[in-house]
Amino acid sequence: MFTARCILGTSAKYLTSLPAQRQQIKLQNRMSTSLRSVAAVCQVTATPDKQANFSACKQLVEEAKGRGASMVFLPEAFDYIGSSREETLSLSESLTGDTISQYSQLARKLEVWLSLGGFHERGHNWESDRRIYNSHIIINDNGEIISVYRKSHLFDVELPEKGVSLKESAFTIPGPSLVSPVQTPIGKVGLGICYDLRFPELSLALQRQGADILTYPSAFTVATGAAHWEVLLRARAIETQCFVLAAAQVGRHHEKRSSYGHALAVDPWGEVLGDCGGEKPGMVLVEIDLEKVSSTRRNMPVQQHRRNTDFYQSLEKS
């Protein structure tokens, strides 16, 4: 028996049970001789203060490791959330800068894998165009960067009735391609970031390449999160029959921006295993049982029932 749970704050005294219908989750080991693979899905409240953000994330990673996690997932913009375009650009770094160096050292020291869900990475032509990538970085337990995915779909949205106005493309370069799922201690992880969640083609492409787990580290707005966050994450899990892990930003970052929170873990059947709520930083700890992926796909072989690409394009050709 393993209990998925949300830990608010960074002390055991903040241990909070999930609602009764989500509290007790029976999970099996992948193999009778294997150790449990535990993932920690975190939510934080990033501000423009990079060092304060690192300190808060470091505490979460340390606690997750202490509670048995072999991989820790941090959200989009874990490094900072700027209060203006100018501040956002000025705080950005390269992959060889201080921020990623600190996280590499942390991963190596704790011997834990890290999913750094959305790093403000200076573009290859930074000196001439002052544009950045939104980069999802996987660091192994030796502190090595083993994969970098640059966000493909940029969040350009005007919802005046919801008070939402964001234009990510004004300073961000769209990533050139998807990256192959990464073999990790918890399974093969397919990488997305936030707005990518709305594009099922991406999740299906990762599933076809062997992903057991999809991850969508995010900084959803309060309005779009309340309307779409959980239903989209559960849909991606159901259609791919993958675990879905979604670290999240939560609360007020500065006077201009707040995030929805609710860091979520979903199983291949679409059941929510853990929800960190919409108020405080914390984490969801969840065991990843890859046999659940296999049995779900075996019992309902959706991918085998899928028709070939020409079938789905037949309307376009008619």
Question: Using one digit for the tens of pLDDT, what is the confidence trace for 295-316?
Answer: 999 999 999 999 998 899 898 8
Q: Which residue has the higher pLDDT, 217 or 155?
A: 217
Query: Helix, strand, coil shares of the chain as percentages rounded to 5?
Result: 35, 30, 35
pLDDT at 253: 97
Q: Is the pLDDT of residue 17 over 80?
A: no
pTM (global) more than 0.85: yes
Cα 128 to Cα 122, 123, 124, 152, 196: the distances in Å are 11, 10, 9, 22, 28
pLDDT at 32: 31
Could you give phi then psi for residue 163, rounded to 5 degrees? 75, 25
Neighbours of 107 (CB within 10 A): 25
Tens digits of residue pLDDT in 220-251: 999 999 999 999 999 999 999 999 999 999 99
DSSP letter at 17 equals P
Tens digits of residue pLDDT in 146-187: 999 999 999 988 888 877 777 899 899 999 999 999 999 999
Q: Which member of 42, 121, 151, 287 is catalytic?
A: 151
Mark whether 194 is an active-site residue: yes
Tens digits of residue pLDDT in 39-78: 999 999 999 999 999 999 999 999 999 999 999 999 999 9
Mark whether 292 is an active-site residue: no
Say which CATH number the domain at 226 has: 3.60.110.10
pLDDT at 7: 72
Q: Which member of 57, 65, 76, 292 is catalytic?
A: 76
pLDDT at 167: 84
Strand partners, 140: none
- Reported confidence tier of residue 6, pLDDT bands at 50, 70, 90: low
Boundaries of domain holding 80: 5-317
Tens digits of residue pLDDT in 81-105: 999 999 999 999 999 999 999 999 9
Q: Which residue has the higher pLDDT, 214 or 22?
A: 214
Q: What's the rounded Cα separation, in Å, for the pair 223 and 234?
A: 18
Cα 143 to Cα 100, 108, 121, 138, 220: the distances in Å are 10, 5, 18, 10, 29
DSSP letter at 48 equals S
Q: Which member of 6, 42, 57, 194 is catalytic?
A: 194
Q: Which residue has the higher pLDDT, 23 or 46?
A: 46
- Residue-wise over 62-90: b if at least 16 C-beta within 10 A, else e? bbbbeeebbbbbbbbbbbbbbeeeeebbe
Mark whether 158 is an active-site residue: no
Q: Into how many domains does the chain fold? A: 1
Q: Please name which of 77, 88, 72, 93 lies closest in space to residue 138, comparing C-alpha atoms.
A: 72
Contact between 232 and 264 (Cβ < 8 Å): no
Average pLDDT over the chain, rounded to whole? 89
Tens digits of residue pLDDT in 106-138: 999 999 999 999 999 999 999 999 999 999 999
Q: Is the pLDDT of residue 3 over 60?
A: no
